[in-house]
Amino acid sequence: MQDLDLPIGEAADAAVNFVLDHFTPTLDGIAAAIALVTDSLRDVLVGLPAPVIIAAIALLALWRVGWKFSVFAVAALALIMGMNLWPRMMETLSLVLAATGFAMLVGIPLGIAMARSNAVQGVARPVLDLMQTMPAFVYLIPAAMFFGLGAVPGTIATVIFAMPPVVRLTNLGLRQVHSEFIEAGLAFGCTPTQLLLKVQIPNALPSIMAGINQTIMLSLSMVVIASMIGAGGLGNTVLTGIQRLDVGTGFEGGLAVVVLAVLLDRITQSFGNARPSLFGGLRAALGSRKAAESEDEAVQGHPGRA
C-alpha cells in the first residue's frame, strides 16, 4: 500500500501566496487601519500616568463589582508597578482592547445575521468551529506572512482566535429571546429594525455580554502567544522567561497576566448583570445599608382598586 499524501498543505500555501500576490495593497490598508487603532490605544494607555489609570480601574471596580474588589484591584495593580511590569501590562491591555473591539465590530453583526437566517448559521457554524479549534499558533504563520511582525499581525491573529464566542453567544442570545416578546414587538407595530434594537438585543444583552467577556479572555490568552511574532507586552516577559529558563521572570509575567485576567473578567462579567448604582457602591463601601432599604420600600404595597 502506497503512502497517501494529499496536497492540503500545498493548497494552503498556494492560497496564502495567491493572497500575497494579488491583495498586498488591500492588506496594507487593513494593516494601516489596525495599526492606527492599536498604536493610538497603546500610546494613550502607556502615556497616561499609572495612578490615573489605577484610580479609574478602582472606581470602575467599585461601581460594577464592590468595594472589596476595588481594594483588591488597587493592591494588585500596585504589585504590577512594584514588579516594574506596568508599561508591558498597558501594552497587553491595549492589544486586548483593540482585538476585542475588532472582534465585536465583526462578531456582533455576524451573530445577528446568523440569528436571522438559518442559512447564514449553517455556513458560519463550521467556520467558527474551525476558528476555535485550530491550534492558536497556526494563525501566527499567515498573520506574520501577510502583515509582517509586530502588533498588527498579533492583533489580527487574536481577533480570529477570540471572535467565535461573541458570534455564537450573540446568535444564541437572540434566538433565545422569548417568542412572546417577539410577538409583543410585532403586535405593537415594530419594523424589523425596531424589533432588533428595542426587543431582541436588550433581551439578549446578558448573553451578548457573556460572549464579549469570553472574547476578552481568549484575546488575553492569544495576545500572550502573539508575542512570538513580536506583538509585545507581557507575552514578551513570559517568552523571555521561557527562552532563558528563568523561572522568576516567567512567573512575574504570568502573575501579571493573571491579575489582568481577573480584573477584566470580573469587571466585564458585571456588565451582563443588572446595573447597580454608583452611589449604592459608594454607600456600601461606607457601611451604609440605606440604599438597599429604600429600594425595598418601592416594592411594597399594593395599588388601590381603581
Q: Indicate the residue among 51 and 192 with the shorter CB distance to another protein.
A: 192
Say whether residue 25 binds another protein (CB under 8 A): no
Nearer to another protein, 254 or 280 (CB): 280
Q: Which of residues 165-194 bind another protein (CB under 8 A)?
A: 178, 180-181, 183-191, 194
Decide whether 49 or 301 has the Cβ nearer to another protein. 301
Q: What is the DSSP letter of 305?
A: P
Shortest reach from residue 273's CB to another protein, in Å: 12
Is 298 an interacting residue with respect to another protein (CB under 8 A)?
Answer: yes
Determine, following the binding rule CB under 8 A, whether residue 117 of this chain makes contact with another protein. Answer: no
Tell me which of 125, 198, 266, 283 binds another protein, using CB under 8 A. 198
Please state the closest distance from residue 305 (CB atom) to another protein, in A.
7
> Interface with another protein includes 22 (CB under 8 A)?
no
Note whether 132 binds another protein by CB under 8 A. no
Reduced to 3 states (helix: H, G, I; strand: E, B; else coil), residue 188 is coil
Residue number with CB closer to another protein (191 or 243): 191
Long-range contacts of 196-204 (CB under 8 A, 24+ apart): 196/112, 200/115, 200/174, 201/174, 203/173, 203/177, 203/178, 204/170, 204/173, 204/174, 204/176, 204/177
Q: Compute the least distance from the CB of residue 56 to another protein, in Å.
A: 27
What span, in angstroms and rounded, lies between the C-alpha atoms of 231 and 149? 7
Closer to another protein at the Cβ: 155 or 200? 200
304 binds another protein (CB under 8 A): yes
Q: Which of residues 204-263 bind another protein (CB under 8 A)?
A: 205
Q: Name which of 112 and 204 has its Cβ closer to another protein.
A: 204
* Selection from 141, 60, 88, 97 nearest residue 253 by Cα: 88
Q: Would you give the DSSP letter of residue 80?
A: H
At closest approach, how far in Å is the CB of 181 from another protein?
A: 6
What is the Cα–Cα distance from 252 to 234, expressed in whole angstroms? 9
| Distance between CA atoms of residues 25 and 183, nearest Å | 48
Nearer to another protein (CB atom), residue 181 or residue 251: 181
| CB of 166 or CB of 204, closer to another protein | 204
Nearest in space to 223 (alpha carbons), one of 165, 151, 128, 145: 151
Residue 148 and residue 145: Cα distance in Å, rounded? 6
One-letter amino acid of 144: A
**Closest distance between another protein and the C-beta of residue 184, in Å?**
4
Asked whether the beta carbons of 116 and 231 are under 8 A apart, the reply is no
Cell 503512502 belongs to 3
| CB of residue 109 to another protein, shortest distance in Å | 21
Stretch (H or E) spanning 278: helix 278-285
Positions that interact with another protein (CB under 8 A): 178, 180-181, 183-191, 194, 198-199, 202-203, 205, 298-299, 302-306
